């Protein structure tokens, strides 16, 4: 088969993920790639970003001369607060998370299984420093959990798998995955491809996925 | 755009259906969302389960809702009132059910409902008849009972100030159950004396973040249940 | 035996109970008689009153023209807030109670048993309207629980008993009782009389108590 | 008279004893009670169990406390740091124990410790290896784990403003664990940039009521851990 073109850039994935966020949503964006999504919320939609360290209504990064070291996000980077923001302590913040008050979170992933299992906190390696943060809370409490990730690791190993090999963050929690190659839904029948990156074929995406894929693109008869 | 304002109390409570569970804020006469409760009386939903610390005062608000026969069950801690016989009369007539819960357990069960905690152990009430039939367990040699979260279809609460996002400030001890009921309901309806633009409230002082609020009605000059009762007012 | 003089007045009982409150204490005073105690805190001691409906730093009743119907105590009466006060919601208020943060509460009683059991919420009568409020939370969480009450009911029935006949508020919770006739401690050996009202004898108090009493007054050899 | 002020950070932490449990506020570099932690380093108590979301940054604060060998165990959610290898080095050398807790469970366990709730059920972490060995139970068909309260001998936290009674205000996201740790320790020590008379803080906006606070030290111009780490500062 011919070599496909490059997949979507990180910004393009973020832009695609942002299109699915409804006006008025309360959203938590995971540390790293998912943070980019905030920059692509379509014009005319107002969303409220939650950062689990204690801020609802998070705004963009401040100008370098306006950094307040006591106003940071969960990734420990300086941020701002939008009009209508509020500050609260950690127990209240995770009451929002665990209590089902957030509409959506978009997290990074090491692996997503075709039953919706997510692994994104530990490689299980004995010399790694264990660290979990708020990921398990988010996946168990937020109404809709999506993932934004590269389709494969840097060495080409698929991240969409039949069964996670890394320790789980949560079981059966992911409903949709945005990658550089495709938009993939988790369904009762496993992974369903909803969209494919320009220049890529279903078979090329399937070859880079370690689980059965169903072609569910609108207009495509599988 | 996030705009949780609705035009009237009537509109805010229009969808409350027969048989649903409604949390009603307030402690004694402080913090009672009188205008919302009166709108619920006008609306007429019946067979309601009401979660509220008390069971109303005088002949207005929750007492009137009970008198109108709309409440099938009360979950609360102190349904006795020195200024109203409405609950007592209906209870003695066997026309209302009561689940009596210690006040702190009531608060914690509501907070748990809002925080995604389905159950917790508490020492309160252990070794009393209010623990009868409940799972018990010892921690550090002290008996505890397992208590379950409370959630509701609706919460009706009163705030002093709000913004378009539903952020809330309360007034003094009228805060009481407002912030936790807002967390524990599927749809939280707030009456607020003022409703400003986002940014009108200091983010450090917001007592209830807007994420917990669904609808805000401005009632610029709310009646005080305290005054209505003192005046002998009767609703409807 | 000769008829003893009247016992202490409600104000005198309150004054006596107030003397045992240490400077700097966080205190909850039950609805009714115990509320009087606040008026008799000895000069020079600063105490902070908690009212479970959501105020720490409760002050005295306001002037009639300064009543705020949204500033009330647990007895639903108008109060004021002292400098240093704070308002909070019910779950936070009972976290203070249940979490052991209050130094002392003084409650009313229907019965106190010699093992410290307290009954003060229900007569168990079938036509009574059941109501419990915060009493069970207070007795299970506050570090020291004392009682202020008349020694007997209006019809002369003793309130200090060997075993409560009414439904319990809490088991083994009371450590000291202030009445119009005596100050009585609950000890592992049962009730111990620490002080007796002027003009009253130990035997006269014992005759009005429905449990064994030990005379533990300083200087008295039992 | 209630006066919780103490003259210095050294005096405030003087009684922390070997083997005790210390909660340390802060998330990342925001809200770190740097001056209190440095006083604890000077004081020298060892064999401590530290409850803190992270395990320190750079070579100051909690990272320095660990480097100095004073910490036997960390209870936290995210001890990795992009700007410090202190914890990683000590952990790989087998010289520190780690109890890893999901961040929301950590917060809720601390809040439970302060609220007199010995244990609660949470869905977080169920069906993961962090639930291994824990009691599990289904609610509404969803697996939950039983988690136990966390308490400590000491809490060291940072506030923006305090009064003589120990009432506290915080600054933005530096609030993080401060209010709940204050509830869960036998002795809560606060460093605050300003310490006023009772009445200097609006009672509607107090984030931590003074009942949860035992000692207040004024540190008028506190160092920001963020700045110290950026400067490559090293303590002691």
pLDDT of B10-42, one tens digit each? Answer: 999 999 999 999 999 999 999 999 999 999 999
Binary contact (B139, D120; C-beta < 8 A)? no
**pLDDT band for position C97 (cuts 50, 70, 90):** very high
Percentage of residues in chain A with pLDDT exceeding 70? 98
- Interface of chain D toward chain B, CB-CB under 8 angstroms: 108, 112, 115-123, 139-140, 144, 169-172, 202, 204-205, 207
User: Do C and A have ≥3 inter-chain CB pairs under 8 A?
Assistant: no
Residue C90's closest CA among B33, B167, B184?
Answer: B184
- C57: distance to nearest CA of chain D, Å? 9
Contacts of B167 in chain A (CB under 8 A): 84, 86
CA angle in degrees (0–180, nearest 5) for A173-A177-A180: 155
Binary contact (A131, D127; C-beta < 8 A)? no
Q: Touching B: which chains, 3+ CB pairs < 8 A?
A: A, C, D
Binary contact (D129, A141; C-beta < 8 A)? no
Given this model, what pLDDT does residue C42 score?
Answer: 96
Percentage of residues in chain D with pLDDT exceeding 90? 97
Q: Which residues of C are catalytic?
A: 52
Contacts of C94 in chain B (CB under 8 A): 103-104, 107-108
Report the residue from A56, A82, A99 with minimal CB separation from B183. Answer: A99
**Cα distances (Å, whole numbers) of residue D83 to A22, B37, C110:** 37, 55, 63
Residue A5 lies in a domain: no
Given this model, what pLDDT does residue D14 score?
Answer: 98
Report the residue from D107, D128, D224 with minimal CB separation from A94. Answer: D107
List beta partners, residue C183: C178, C195
DSSP letters of C147-211?
EE--SB-TT--BSEESS--SPPSBSS-EEEEE-SSEEEEEETTEEEEEEE-TT--HHHHHHT-BS
Residue D41's closest CA among D86, D85, D76?
Answer: D86
**pLDDT band for position A126 (cuts 50, 70, 90):** confident
- Find all residues with CB under 8 Å of B226, minimum gap 6, and list them: B29, B30, C69
pLDDT at position C91 over 60: yes
Residue B116's closest CA among D177, D176, D102?
Answer: D102
Q: DSSP 3-state assignment of A6? A: coil
pLDDT at position C138 over 70: yes
Report the residue from B91, B107, B170 with minimal CB separation from C91. Answer: B107
CATH of the domain at C107: 3.40.1080.10
Given this model, what pLDDT does residue A220 score?
Answer: 76
- B118: distance to nearest CA of chain A, Å? 10
- B203: distance to nearest CA of chain A, Å? 4
Contacts of B31 in chain C (CB under 8 A): 70
**What chain C residue is nearest to B126 in terms of C-alpha separation?**
C170
Q: Is A116 on the interface with B (CB under 8 A)?
A: no
Domain that holds residue A75: 10-215
Binary contact (C84, D1; C-beta < 8 A)? no
- B2: distance to nearest CA of chain A, Å? 5
Binary contact (A94, D104; C-beta < 8 A)? yes
Question: In chain B, positions 88-127, which contact chain C (CB-CB < 8 Å)?
Answer: 88, 91-92, 98, 100-108, 110-111, 122-127
Mean pLDDT computed over every residue of chain D: 97
Binary contact (D203, C46; C-beta < 8 A)? no
pLDDT in tens, A185-207: 999 999 999 999 999 999 999 99
pLDDT at position A124 over 70: yes
Residue C28 lies in a domain: yes
| Number of domains within chain C | 1
Q: Assess whether A70 carries a catalytic annotation.
A: no
Given this model, what pLDDT does residue A173 score?
Answer: 97
Residue A3 lies in a domain: no
pLDDT at position B130 over 70: yes
Question: In chain D, positions 119-178, which contact chain A (CB-CB < 8 Å)?
Answer: 122-130, 170-178
Q: Touching D: which chains, 3+ CB pairs < 8 A?
A: A, B, C
Of the residues A52, A162, A195, A204, only one is catalytic, namely A52
Given this model, what pLDDT does residue B105 score?
Answer: 98
Contacts of A82 in chain B (CB under 8 A): 198
pLDDT in tens, A61-102: 999 999 999 999 999 999 999 999 999 999 999 999 999 999
Which one-letter DSSP state was computed for residue A19?
Answer: H
Judge whether C160 and C184 are in contact, CB under 8 Å. Answer: yes
Residue A208 lies in a domain: yes
Q: Is A94 on the interface with D (CB under 8 A)?
A: yes
* ipTM summary value: 0.97
- C149: distance to nearest CA of chain D, Å? 28
pLDDT in tens, D143-182: 999 999 999 999 999 999 999 999 999 999 999 999 999 9
Binary contact (D169, B118; C-beta < 8 A)? no
Binary contact (C132, B102; C-beta < 8 A)? yes
Judge whether D160 and B205 are in contact, CB under 8 Å. Answer: no
**pLDDT band for position C2 (cuts 50, 70, 90):** low
Binary contact (B2, A50; C-beta < 8 A)? no
- Find all residues with CB under 8 Å of B133, minimum gap 6, and list them: none
Contacts of B87 in chain C (CB under 8 A): 129
Judge whether C72 and B28 are in contact, CB under 8 Å. Answer: yes
pLDDT in tens, D108-124: 999 999 999 999 999 99
Side by side, the strands of the sheet bearing C118-119 are: C118-119, C111-113, C160-161
Side-chain-facing half-sphere of B155: CA atoms under 13 Å = 29
**Cα distances (Å, whole numbers) of residue D135 to A107, A117, D143, D145, D190:** 28, 22, 10, 6, 36
What's the CATH code, domain D18-100+152-219? 3.40.1080.10
Contacts of A81 in chain D (CB under 8 A): 172
| pTM exceeding the 0.90 threshold for the entire prediction | yes
């Amino acid at each position: 088969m011919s070599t496909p073109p490059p997949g979507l850039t990180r910004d393009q994935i973020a832009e695609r993920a942002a299109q699915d966020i409804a006006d008025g949503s309360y959203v938590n964006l995971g540390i790293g790639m998912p943070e980019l999504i905030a920059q692509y919320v379509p014009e005319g939609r107002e969303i409220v970003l939650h950062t689990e360290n204690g801020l609802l209504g998070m705004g963009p990064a401040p100008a370098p001369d306006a950094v307040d070291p006591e106003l940071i996000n969960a990734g420990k980077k300086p941020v701002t607060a939008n009009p209508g923001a509020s500050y609260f302590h950690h127990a209240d913040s995770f009451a929002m998370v665990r209590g089902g008050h957030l509409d959506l979170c978009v997290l990074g992933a090491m692996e997503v299984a075709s039953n919706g299992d997510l692994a994104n906190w530990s490689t299980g390696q004995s010399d790694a420093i264990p660290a979990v943060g708020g990921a398990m809370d988010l996946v168990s409490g937020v109404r809709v959990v999506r993932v934004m990730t590269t389709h494969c690791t840097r060495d080409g190993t698929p991240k969409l798998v039949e069964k996670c090999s890394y320790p789980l963050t949560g079981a059966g929690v992911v409903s949709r995955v945005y990658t550089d190659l495709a938009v993939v839904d988790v369904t009762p029948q496993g992974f369903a491809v909803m969209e494919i990156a320009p220049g890529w074929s279903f078979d090329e995406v399937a070859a880079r996925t370690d689980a059965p894929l169903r072609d569910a693109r609108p207009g495509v008869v599988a | 755009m996030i705009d949780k304002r609705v035009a009237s109390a009537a509109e805010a409570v229009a969808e409350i259906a027969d048989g649903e569970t409604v949390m009603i804020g307030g402690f004694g006469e402080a913090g009672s969302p009188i205008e919302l409760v009166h709108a619920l009386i006008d609306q007429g939903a019946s067979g309601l389960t009401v979660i509220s610390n008390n069971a109303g005062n005088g002949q207005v608000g929750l007492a009137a809702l009970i008198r109108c026969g709309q409440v099938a069950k009360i979950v609360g801690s102190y349904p006795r009132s020195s200024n109203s016989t409405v609950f007592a009369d209906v209870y003695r007539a066997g026309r209302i059910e009561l689940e009596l819960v210690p006040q702190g357990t009531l608060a914690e069960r509501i907070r748990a409902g809002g925080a995604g905690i389905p159950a917790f152990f508490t020492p309160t009430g252990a070794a009393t008849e209010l623990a009868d039939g409940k799972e018990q367990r010892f921690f550090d040699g002290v008996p505890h009972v397992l208590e379950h979260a409370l959630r509701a279809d609706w919460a009706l609460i009163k705030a002093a100030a709000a913004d378009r996002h539903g952020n809330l400030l309360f007034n003094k001890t009228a805060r009481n159950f407002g912030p936790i009921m807002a967390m524990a309901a599927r749809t939280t309806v707030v009456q607020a004396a003022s409703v400003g633009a986002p940014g009108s409230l200091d983010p450090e002082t917001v007592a209830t973040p807007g994420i917990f609020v669904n609808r805000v009605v401005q009632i610029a000059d709310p009646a005080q249940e305290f005054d209505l009762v003192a005046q002998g007012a009767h609703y409807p």
